[in-house]
Structure 1
């Protein structure tokens, strides 16, 4: 026989059923993976992105873990495509903000130039929010946002940003502010916390500027966001606080990329920017050069243990070859073997350390300087077009001088992919003194070979000691090739 409920239990059930909707209204729990995040309707935390991939999702989920009492949402730019963010809450917008009576200016890069625009959509969708915290998709948050949320509400703060200051004359965007503000300011905006009234002031100011911008027929520049936002809030005499009061900003910069899984990007109590995934190595090489690889304390070197070698080694090799420095190539070889990035030594292309010249230049040459034009064929970059281009001559030629004499085992010649037949009748010679020449190959009947398609002309030289390589056309015409490589292996 079933046990009867007591009067107390029945009363308790009635109370729970009656109060559950009210309880859920004020304490909303949303399952995020295996984590439940409590939401606070007073502060919205918006993760701003225009792309979605596993790396971006990782950064977003990490932010969710730091939200504390904030209400998390993705603010997604879907101008080009819809972002599939799964069950994560999303607010969509495009680069068109005509409904707010503001301009899409500049037309080609509106949302990069105007980081304030997504704030207007967020304010419209969440009118109940007293503040909005907007964080870019390349920011790593490593601290609870509760302290910032408490400060925003309790002290009625209107703006929290990093490096709020007067806009210096040498800042590239100061000229866009001077026509609109008596006291131009600037700041770094990948992270910003702003009040509802602050957003309203931004929109009002931007609407006024948009109207004047049109009436002035673009005579004055449209204000850049990292100056427009702080200048407007300052002009309103609202309350502004520095971000470094809440977190370490040691690795929070405009452009000093960290790998998103590296220790520096994930230090407890810190904020880091920019943090990137698969583009990290390319960005660091572009910024710091290949020599930074050999510094154990460089951001590039410290991040590599977190990245599979298959994702970065080919970039290192290309950069070493492009440097034209054989010592760099040898150092990379040694380091790659030491770190187990490769299992055997990489073949060194000794041509990249040499110099080149040719018989002539033409109107199609990339440079009218003979040595400069010839050097494009030894820059280590294999492509489909020509590297050098001679004029139409009786027997045009191209000449390579290696840095030092070596025992040559292979010469690889990459043809231009169109008009390949023009280089079919060629002769290849080598020399130790540029006077006595040894013919390695001569194709009087012609040979068709490729290049970037994976079918270059490969010559076995049989370990012959030489310093000069000469390629000549055996008939009147023009000589144009893409790359020439020389190996001792």
Structure 2
């Protein structure tokens, strides 16, 4: 009989409000023998979490103290999502597996059964490989000088499951690359969604697709799903990103490259926004339209709505 490994779930966030708290409580209801922690980036000092919740707080400066480089100046914790993992595991090293779980994920998961299956398979990393063409990825350049073309891959890690030895491997590799980056011998800093699966595979460790264990049909980076639309999930289904109303509206507008589609009859974009009161989306929609107009070449305005 396969035992349930000791596992910790790291509920990752940089904000705290009623929506994030609801997400945390939903996650807590699914956990059997594992331990759940909030792992929060409080660099801004604005992420205030109730005292009765188990929380590990970090600041960006903590990673400098560990000898880790960021490689980027903007959103370093988003670019290096694995750093929260190293920070936590350095303090809690008793677990067989560590699960990164972003605050905008919602699932219907039996975690004990999931971790028993992963332990049975001997998996070191579980994630979902992106089907996008790697060369068309915005961060392709961050990896192309460091890794061979045949090794390049990208993995969604809104849920990422790591064995203890995988955490140790990746941490040591980040430290080694940090030394190279400081010396100038490494010019580009690899994005975490490529660094993690590539380094794991190059070490000969066992990678397994998340789709082997969970229903991932609605698990990607967009489109977003409204919180109330996901109140009933299938068994083992996981959804991302799940957002409250304000975040959903902002995400819907941000990912629409042609916001003028709002005025096109029966457009999906317009339908998504019109389910809400006009007052909730008119200002961000106006800003998106204004930005779109400013980006258009002169003389093309007449073609915008065609």
**TM bucket, shorter chain:** 0.7 to 0.9
CA distance in 1, matches of 2:254, 2:120: 44
Change in Cα spacing, 1:296 to 1:207, as seen in structure 2 (3 Å) is closer
Aligned partner of residue 87 in structure 2, secondary structure: helix
Which ranges in structure 1 are unaligned for 5 or more consecutive residues? 1-39, 325-366, 373-489
Q: In the alignment, is residue 111 of structure 1 matched against residue 77 of structure 2?
A: yes
Q: In the alignment, is residue 73 of structure 1 matched against residue 37 of structure 2?
A: yes
Counterpart pick for 1:210 among 178, 184, 187 = 178
Counterpart pick for 2:147 among 181, 197, 201 = 181
Change in Cα spacing, 1:68 to 1:322, as seen in structure 2 (3 Å) is same
CA distance in 2, matches of 1:207, 1:322: 42
CA distance in 1, matches of 2:189, 2:38: 27
Which ranges in structure 2 are unaligned for 5 or more consecutive residues? 290-295, 302-306
Which residue matches 2:124?
158
CA distance in 2, matches of 1:323, 1:127: 46
Q: In the alignment, is residue 95 of structure 1 matched against residue 53 of structure 2?
A: no
Q: Check the 8 A contact 2:106/2:238 in 1, yes or no.
A: yes
Tell me the number of residue pairs that the alignment of Structure 1 and Structure 2 aligns: 285
Change in Cα spacing, 1:83 to 1:167, as seen in structure 2 (3 Å) is farther
Q: Check the 8 A contact 1:166/1:184 in 2, yes or no.
A: no
Structure showing greater radius of gyration is 1
1:293 deviates by 8.7
1:68-94 deviation per Cα after TM superposition (whole angstroms, max 9, x unaligned): 221111001111114223411001111
Q: In the alignment, is residue 279 of structure 1 matched against residue 279 of structure 2?
A: no
Q: In the alignment, is residue 58 of structure 1 matched against residue 30 of structure 2?
A: no
1:105 deviates by 2.8
Change in Cα spacing, 1:322 to 1:165, as seen in structure 2 (3 Å) is closer
Which residue matches 2:292?
none
Pairwise CA RMSD: 3.4
Change in Cα spacing, 1:98 to 1:320, as seen in structure 2 (3 Å) is closer
1:121 deviates by 1.1
1:262-287 deviation per Cα after TM superposition (whole angstroms, max 9, x unaligned): 13884443111111112212322343
Change in Cα spacing, 1:286 to 1:107, as seen in structure 2 (3 Å) is closer
Counterpart pick for 1:131 among 70, 89, 97 = 97
1:313-354 deviation per Cα after TM superposition (whole angstroms, max 9, x unaligned): 214555787899xxxxxxxxxxxxxxxxxxxxxxxxxxxxxx
Aligned partner of residue 251 in structure 1, secondary structure: strand
CA distance in 1, matches of 2:211, 2:220: 12
1:41 deviates by 7.7
Higher relative contact order (CA 8 A, sep 6+): 2
CA distance in 1, matches of 2:231, 2:269: 11
1:177 deviates by 1.4
Change in Cα spacing, 1:70 to 1:320, as seen in structure 2 (3 Å) is closer
CA distance in 2, matches of 1:251, 1:73: 25
Change in Cα spacing, 1:216 to 1:148, as seen in structure 2 (3 Å) is same
Change in Cα spacing, 1:301 to 1:225, as seen in structure 2 (3 Å) is same
1:106 deviates by 1.4
Q: In the alignment, is residue 300 of structure 1 matched against residue 272 of structure 2?
A: yes
TM-score, structure 1 normalization: 0.53
Q: Which protein is richer in helix relative to its size? A: 2
Q: In the alignment, is residue 226 of structure 1 matched against residue 190 of structure 2?
A: no
Which residue matches 1:403?
none
Counterpart pick for 2:11 among 33, 39, 47 = 47
Q: Which protein is richer in strand relative to its size? A: 1
1:172 deviates by 1.8
1:335-389 deviation per Cα after TM superposition (whole angstroms, max 9, x unaligned): xxxxxxxxxxxxxxxxxxxxxxxxxxxxxxxx9x89x9xxxxxxxxxxxxxxxxx
CA distance in 2, matches of 1:320, 1:173: 28
CA distance in 2, matches of 1:221, 1:265: 43
